[in-house]
Structure 1
Amino acid sequence: MTWLEWMGAGGILVPLMFLAYYALRCTKSAVEMCLKAYLQARTEREQRATMIAMAAALPEGGTAARFEEGQPAWLFYKHSEQGQVAIVTREAA
């Protein structure tokens, strides 16, 4: 091959390599973002299920609050009547 043929191949190949690299970086970023959102949603779901179980465990109904970093973070309420749903809210007053 002559240097002109190598130059022609390099003239096409190098931009294609940069394009492939850029596409892989974008794909990696998108996958990381989706994975982070999925893990955060799953963690919040598990935490909420735990809090609902804690509210249901309140004896004879009542209200309780859980504090995070000195601020009320969760409010639990269980009705004193049987068969009523335990209520958990993240925005505790």
Structure 2
Amino acid sequence: MTWLDWTGAGGILIPVLLLAYYALRRTKSALEMCLKVFLQTRTEREQRATMIAMAAAMPQGGAAARFEEGQPAWLFYKSSEPGHRVIASREAA
């Protein structure tokens, strides 16, 4: 056997392997990006639910704010009148 036989019939196998390698790298980076967005969204949803529960637990009503990097990021408001739901807003902060 010659070295051409080992490399895949004259060098065809090496470019195919490089193409597969780069395709797998691109697929991996796309999956990592999707996973990062999913985890970030889920974390934000859990944090918002926690803050809504905390604001809903205030007996007299009121407002609560969540700060990110020293700036208000979320505003949670509960009316003192019964029957109103808790309002969570990112834009109001």
Superposed pair shares fold, TM > 0.5: yes
Query: What's the offset of the Cα at 1:90?
Result: 2.4
Q: Does 1:71 find its partner at 2:67?
A: no
What secondary structure, in the 3-state scheme, does the structure 2 residue paired with 1:72 have?
Answer: strand
> Normalized per residue, which structure has more helix?
1
Residue 83 (structure 2) pairs with residue 83 (structure 1): yes
TM-score under structure 2 length normalisation: 0.82
CA deviation vs aligned residue, 1:26-76 (integer Å, no higher than 9, x gap): 110111011001000100100110111111011221223333333222222
Cα gap change, 1:5/1:60 in structure 2, threshold over 3 Å: closer, same or farther?
Answer: closer
User: Secondary structure at 2:67's aligned position in 1?
Assistant: strand
Look up the match of 1:17: 17
Give the corresponding residue for 1:50. Answer: 50
Instruction: Measure, in 2, the Cα distance between the counterparts of 1:85 and 1:22.
Output: 51
Which AA in structure 1 matches 2:89? T
- Cα RMSD (Å) of the superposition? 2.1
CA contact (8 A) 1:55 1:88 kept: no
Give structure 2 stretches of 5+ with no counterpart.
none
Q: What TM-score results when the alignment is normalised by the length of structure 1?
A: 0.82
